[in-house]
């Protein structure tokens, strides 16, 4: 069966510090990968998605970047965190070409607090 | 611009009652409408989904009602239980493009509390 691992679960970082959140998927190959941010009252905001190694698309301009160095690994980074980067970050994957629809499978999330 | 409008943002229902969450969409190209359930501190999980070729889909106590002409769909939770207390997101997406990617647009979420 497929599993998605996301870490750390919580993170407290000072303003201006770097960030690296990692996500890995097991039990599938060539998945679509996503980073979402969840803020109260704003639902789930798609930040980045990737359809293959090295292929990253950004949905919104921001202080963050993403990379996909391996097929089942997705990394969210920042060189200098801002207060506004605080939030609940979710990694997700989907099976490419699923004819039944875009079923997203989410990780357990990282609660990031920038102080 | 919010393409999927969800209401209410919060809902309190007594145990055994019916919980109803409504969503409306604008993009007529949407053809897949899932609902996700999220417990505190966890990621959302797919609960139930529907395509517009049917007007209703039922799985246990959970039912999606779909009105294509009104561009609205709703989630009904029958015999609501305290264990159903969670945040529910409606969503919509359209056919895959040539890149194999299908963008999912989420509603703002509804925090449901079922009280004993």
What local confidence, expressed as pLDDT, does residue B96 receive?
Answer: 59
Q: Which CATH superfamily is domain A3-114 in?
A: Immunoglobulins (2.60.40.10)
Q: DSSP label at B82? A: G
Q: How far is CA A22 from CA A7, A17, A33, in A?
A: 6, 17, 12
A67 and A47 in contact (C-beta within 8 Å)?
no
Taking contacts as CB-CB distances below 8 angstroms, the residues of chain A near B104 are 46, 102, 104
Q: What is the pLDDT along chain B (116 residues), one digit of tens a residue?
A: 558 999 999 999 999 999 999 999 998 889 899 999 999 989 999 999 999 999 999 999 999 999 999 999 999 999 999 999 999 999 998 865 555 566 788 999 999 999 99
Q: Is A97 helix (H, G, I), strand (E, B) or coil?
A: coil
Asked if B54 reaches chain A (Cβ–Cβ under 8 Å), the answer is: no
What local confidence, expressed as pLDDT, does residue A23 receive?
Answer: 97
Domain boundaries, chain B: 13-94
The CATH code belonging to domain B13-94 is: 2.60.40.10
What local confidence, expressed as pLDDT, does residue A40 receive?
Answer: 73
**What is the rounded distance in angstroms from the CA atom of residue B69 to the CA atom of residue B28?**
10
Judged by CB atoms closer than 8 Å, whether chains meet at A103 and B107 is answered as: no
* Identity of the residue in A42, A104, A111 whose CB atom sits nearest the CB atom of B104: A104
**What is the rounded distance in angstroms from the CA atom of residue B42 to the CA atom of residue B100?**
27
Domain boundaries, chain A: 3-114
Asked if A42 reaches chain B (Cβ–Cβ under 8 Å), the answer is: yes
What local confidence, expressed as pLDDT, does residue A95 receive?
Answer: 87
Judged by CB atoms closer than 8 Å, whether chains meet at B102 and A101 is answered as: yes
Q: Which of residues 17-46 of B touch A (CB under 8 A)?
A: 32, 34, 36, 41-46
How many A×B Cβ pairs under 8 Å?
65
Judged by CB atoms closer than 8 Å, whether chains meet at B96 and A97 is answered as: yes
Q: Is the peptide bond before A8 cis (omega within 30 degrees of 0)?
A: yes
Q: What is the pLDDT along chain A (115 residues), one digit of tens a residue?
A: 889 999 999 999 999 999 999 999 999 989 999 999 998 767 899 999 998 999 998 887 678 999 999 999 999 999 999 999 999 999 999 987 776 677 899 999 999 999 9
What local confidence, expressed as pLDDT, does residue A100 receive?
Answer: 65
**What is the rounded distance in angstroms from the CA atom of residue A24 to the CA atom of residue A42?**
26
* DSSP string computed for B12-65: EEETTS-EEEEEEE--TT--BEEEEEE-TTS--EEEEEE-TT-SEEEETTEEEE
Q: Which of residues 66-85 of B touch A (CB under 8 A)?
A: none
**What is the rounded distance in angstroms from the CA atom of residue B98 to the CA atom of residue A109?**
30
* Identity of the residue in A94, A102, A109 whose CB atom sits nearest the CB atom of B42: A109
């Amino acid at each position: 069966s497929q599993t998605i691992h996301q870490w750390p679960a919580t993170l407290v970082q000072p303003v201006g510090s770097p960030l690296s959140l990692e996500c890995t998927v097991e039990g599938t190959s060539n998945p679509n990968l996503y980073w979402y941010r969840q803020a109260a009252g704003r639902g789930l905001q798609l930040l980045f998605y990737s359809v293959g190694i090295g292929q990253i698309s950004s949905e919104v301009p921001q202080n963050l970047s993403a990379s996909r160095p391996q097929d089942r690994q997705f990394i969210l980074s920042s060189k200098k965190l801002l207060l506004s980067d605080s939030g609940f970050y979710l990694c997700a994957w989907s099976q490419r070409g699923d004819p039944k629809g875009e079923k997203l499978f989410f990780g357990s999330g990282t609660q990031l607090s920038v102080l | 611009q919010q393409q999927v409008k969800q209401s209410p943002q919060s809902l309190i229902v007594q145990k055994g009652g019916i919980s109803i969450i409504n969503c409306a969409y604008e993009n007529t190209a949407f053809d897949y409408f899932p609902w996700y359930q999220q417990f505190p501190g966890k990621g959302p999980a797919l609960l139930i989904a529907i395509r517009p070729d049917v007007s209703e889909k039922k799985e246990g106590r959970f039912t999606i009602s779909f009105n294509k002409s009104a561009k609205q769909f709703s989630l009904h939770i029958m015999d609501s239980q305290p264990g159903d207390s969670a945040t529910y997101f409606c969503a919509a997406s359209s056919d895959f493009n040539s890149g194999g990617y299908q963008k999912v647009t989420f509603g703002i979420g509804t925090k449901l509390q079922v009280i004993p």
